[in-house]
Copies of this chain bind each other. A is one copy, B any other.
Amino acid sequence: DFLGALDEVKPAYGAEDEELQTYILNDILSWTPAIDQILEDGKLIMNQARNSDKTPLVSVLLHGPTASGKTALAARLGQLSDFPYVKVISPAKLVGFSEAGKIQTITKIFDDAYKSQMSCIIVDDIERLLEYVQIGPRFSNGILQTLMTLLRKTPPKGRKLVVVGTTSKKAVMKELGINECFDSEIHVPNISNSDELEKALTLMNTFAPAETQQIKGRIEGHIWVGVKSIIMAAEKARQDDYNKVERFVDAISGGFVA
């Protein structure tokens, strides 16, 4: 079938893939079928860029709550594309740069992408790249305009580009108008009930089955935590063998910012 073709493709090896891997430190756990659908939709977009001359530029925005796993999923999409050029633009790489330096670096990454026949750029944590803060609000209009323009700039003849953005502030993206610069959007969900939590803990393997059931009993009903926070809470709990379940529940229900 049409998705199968891509599935067989092996992820590229090399320095870039190693970097992509650092964003997936704790694997992609299939704690909900939505995770698989996100990956399928992503493959479709990669194929569109590969196959259509009418749309040489395709872009998608991954949005969802803090710690829900957006960056890891974007990195996985980059791996799945198997494009020769896959690059992540992230706040951590630009730390300490002036606004002009940030703009220059971003522009350079797009220029480099145009040199490859097929490229994928991950624009991670857009609100942080924009230096957004709700008080004011303030943000770098220079970086915003650069991104908005590059997100809509047609690559040179014959070149293809996929852009995958991530954000945990969809409302801000809308206020800034940058959401209109993406062709489509994909939502990344939080873990929201004890069944999903059980599935995730089982896949993680940090707790014994009995401990997992204890936790489930303590949670009762609806929660709202990202997979990244679940991992953080479990690792803290692990340090206190005598109060493991207690520590985990404490951590995800207040001690940790959910």
Contacts and interface: CB of A to CB of B under 8 A. Distances in A.
Interface string A25-63: 110000000000000000011011001101100100000
Indicate how many identical chains form the complex: 6
A214 interface: no
Nearest to A142: B131
A183 B3 CA distance: 39
A236 interface: yes
Contact of A92 (B3, B152, B177): B152
Nearest to A6: B239
A22 to B, nearest CB: 7
A135 B175 contact: yes
B257 A184 contact: yes
7 contacts: A44-B239, A58-B232, A91-B148, A95-B146, A95-B150, A133-B145, A183-B257
Interface of A: 1-3, 22, 25-26, 44-45, 47-48, 51-52, 54-55, 58, 66, 91-92, 94-96, 98, 100, 103-104, 107, 128, 131, 133-135, 137-139, 141-142, 144-146, 148-150, 152-154, 157, 175-177, 179-180, 182-185, 231-232, 235-236, 238-242, 247, 251, 255-257
